[in-house]
Chain A
Amino acid sequence: MTNYWIQLFINRNSTTSVGAEENLNAILKKYYPGDYQLEIIDIQEHPDKAEEAGILAIPTLIRKWPQPEVRLIGALTVQTRVLTGLGIANVDHLQRQ
């Protein structure tokens, strides 16, 4: 059982999307190895899912779990802000570095 369930809506045609995926992977691997479930959804392939989730901007990250849901938009370029946004800016993690 993982503690984090994260969805990332991307568009394979766009460079910002590819960047966001890389940035997110790096962050999750570094701070939460094995503790997360990451679902990458390409809106070109799954427009239904984008519809259902009400996605407008790409890339959009949704933290489905833990509740409440959190949404981050953009290429996720600033690591500290992503961590704060996800609510995993655990002081211990940062101090351990």
Chain B
Amino acid sequence: MKTNLWRFLVVCVVLALTAPSLIGCQPQPETTTEAPQVQPTEAPAAEPTLAGAEPPTEPEPVTLHVGTTYIWDTANPTFGWYNYNLRNLIYDTLIEWGDIDTFEPDLAESWTVSDDGLVWTFKIREGVTFHDGTPCTAEEIAWSLNWTIENEIETFSFYLANFAEVVALDPTTLQVTLSDPVGNMESALLLFTWILPPSVWDGMSYDEIMEFEGVAAGIGTGPYKLVEWVEGEYLILEAFEDYWRGRPAIDRVVYREFATDDVMIQALLAGDIDVIDMVPGPGVQSLESADTVEVLIMDSLFIDELIINSHENGTQPASLNDPQVRLAMEYAFDRGQIITLGYLGYGEPATTVLPTSMGDWHNSDIKPILFDPVEGNRILDEAGYLDTDRDGIREDGEGNPMEYRLYATDSASNARILEVISDGLSQIGISAPPTVMNEDSLIGLYPDFDFDLIYWGWGLDPDPDFAMFIFTCDQREEGGWNDSGYCNEDFERMYEEQAVTVDQEERRELIWEMQQKLFDDRPYLVSTYYDNIQAYRSDRFTGFGLGCGDILWKWCFLQGSPIE
């Protein structure tokens, strides 16, 4: 988790995205969509709310400390990808993700769509102000969305691709006209479209936007204000007095950065911090034995997979393109051991690209293929890959040994996972010695797709569009998301069709078919849908919503309160 190259960034974004959507399990919090609105003043909070009733000495602010291995790389929301849940405490969106697969109104109170699906009208909440005191009405929101599109703001403009026109009809009405219908309009508006204040960003050139840094970059309408950030050390958020849902119960949120997970776990046990945003598998046991700590093991939208180079430029051995070889590899892919060693058991064996936590989107007709090297050997024998020189490694028809390059990024758990993969493949006569390298070196292989097998992962959007998008041909361009080099006409056609299919049942069928296609062609051997594990001090805080799959996710976090 120490490196930050784009692929990882991408993973993080998406990880972060996923956060709210995890199919939670625990009791649903009361869905108070409209929390009481306190002080709808448009002026900056001139005076604090303690009007005489308070004792003269100011009470100690309630502070929640979050431990993380990496806070973020920049306060600038226009290109920062890390820790989406943290940014989400600072900024608001039109519609937000609440519990499992539910959309909640955020800055938009309600919305309607025209029959042709092209015109969306949003009723905008009144009395919202930015942290700097400037008002946030439909005008500012329209400005923010248009500015995002015009400047191609990286973090969000991708999701607004079909937006033809955004106008404020009046201070409480926003109208969005699309060029084509969008199959996942709500999710498009959800996460990538933070509303930023024109008072800060207006008039900047692209370069100025990119270089903008500092606390002012953290001005939004969200429940917390960015107060201070010391790179590599800590970040402080303070409750926003004029937040439209009312001032949050927890006064300060402090993120602290730790060099290693284990040290972070120690800090939680010692009470130096109150929440760990992602607990590694090995830490669960020691945390569970502590009475003061509550460990939450939640389904997530994280997937890890073995990428099989499917690019037609031929840097991989020809045998790797044979569907029978890929099928045999599937039989040699010991998901059970991978999950035990890499994730300490906190994961579920995977089949398709879409995790089970996506509910109906996940194609449950696809049955898992269990580890069975005997069957793998049989398939290879039958397909004519034999070990003619008896060195333990099979050869293809032309006598080339089946030797593949197997890479992953350098973490301790990846090293363990590669051992399992390499061992499994050796059992069916394929040699794939593991190599770990840092993120940058791995990304360096991409312009040419110069690899055979890579173990890597994604955090996906709650909506299946993104997970499918990464297998489209155009995305193989340098800087694109396609990391397997997969490109297939049928798949491409289905992708385009689902993107404009507004009927969600029809769209689901297409998505199922696409998953089947990917499962048969195997650009990925998806290993696991692993859990998101968090832990917090239950002796100090309580009430966090559990439905988001991430207690730091705004929707769930705001339900939490300190224990007196």
Q: Do they bind each other?
A: no
- Which residues in A have some Cβ–Cβ distance to B below 8 Å? none
